[in-house]
Amino acid sequence: MRIIPAIDIIDGKCVRLTKGDYSTKKIYNENPLEVAKQFEASGIEYLHLVDLDGAKAKQIINYKVLEQIASKTSLKIDFGGGLKSDEDLHIAFNCGAKQITGGSIAVNDHRTFESWLEKYGTTKIILGADCNNRKIAISGWQEESSLEVITFIKNYQRRKVQYVICTDIAKDGMLEGPSFELYKEIIQECSNTSSDQSIKLIASGGISHIDELPKLKELGCEGVIIGKAIYENKISLQELERFF
């Protein structure tokens, strides 16, 4: 199971929110590159980089931060937040993203999202399936759609999506543990059939203790995104090194 620390960006700074609420913003570091280099020094290979300004603006904003981290570390970065156009994707990949995550676009403009899958391949495009009360949330989690999360994932599974990041927004930033039952259900419902490709589920939201990681691995999660637990010293980089 891949360990994927998260860096969320507002105004070029490393921040965390609680339940996606922008009013709860807490700045952890003025220099995201410094944080990324700490991750790299601990042997971490992957990074989940989120442009929260972009999510609100519905277009890529903090691409310079992406470019800086990609050019000055060896981290494999998946980048998301406000990617809505072919130009946004062009900028993100040009600035060094190895993968991009599309959430709102996959709800509001499935044709464009599917065209990205065709153009770039299913290993480079991640489906963002972030939910609240099991309903898919969009626009930087500011809006709740009527789409049920497992139905949403299965619909894109038929379109050959491989990677899915699922965040239970009610858990995000709460440090109360992840949604084990939801992830178990997703993996069971989306297990390989004769017509569908198995998905690679990346768990996100609520991670609070190192002991939760083996449980997610046992469920079959391909990766886990860890944010606030690192910044609030609930999980140390040394513990993560021992784990992987």
- Token pair listed for 130: 């972030």
Condensed to tens digits (0 to 9), the pLDDT of residues 92-108 reads 999 999 999 999 899 99
Least Cα distance to 164 among 55, 236, 80, 86 occurs for 80
How big is the chain, counted in residues? Answer: 244
- CATH code of the domain containing 148: 3.20.20.70
Least Cα distance to 88 among 71, 68, 108, 63 occurs for 63
Q: Give residue 47's pLDDT.
A: 98
- Token pair listed for 137: 């949330």
Q: Which amino acid is at 72?
A: K
Number of domains comprising the chain: 1
Q: Give residue 192's pLDDT.
A: 61
Q: Give residue 194's pLDDT.
A: 52
- Residue 112 Rama label (left phi>0; alpha psi -120 to 50; beta): alpha
Condensed to tens digits (0 to 9), the pLDDT of residues 69-93 reads 999 999 999 999 999 999 999 999 9
Q: Give residue 153's pLDDT.
A: 96
Pairing of strands 46-51, 2-10: parallel
Q: Give residue 145's pLDDT.
A: 80
* CB-based contact 9:62 (threshold 8 Å): yes
Instruction: Give SS3 for 54.
Output: helix
Q: Give residue 35's pLDDT.
A: 98
Rounded to an integer, what distance in angstroms lies between the CA atom of residue 226 and that of residue 7?
A: 9
Q: Give residue 175's pLDDT.
A: 87
Least Cα distance to 206 among 21, 53, 18, 41 occurs for 18
Tell me the β-bridge partners of 7.
Answer: 49
Enumerate the active-site residues. Answer: 8, 130
* CB-based contact 203:224 (threshold 8 Å): yes
Domain extent at residue 185: 2-243
Report mean pLDDT in 10-residue bins for the chain, 244 residues.
97 93 94 98 97 93 98 98 95 98 93 97 96 85 83 94 94 90 95 71 96 97 96 96 89
pTM here? 0.94
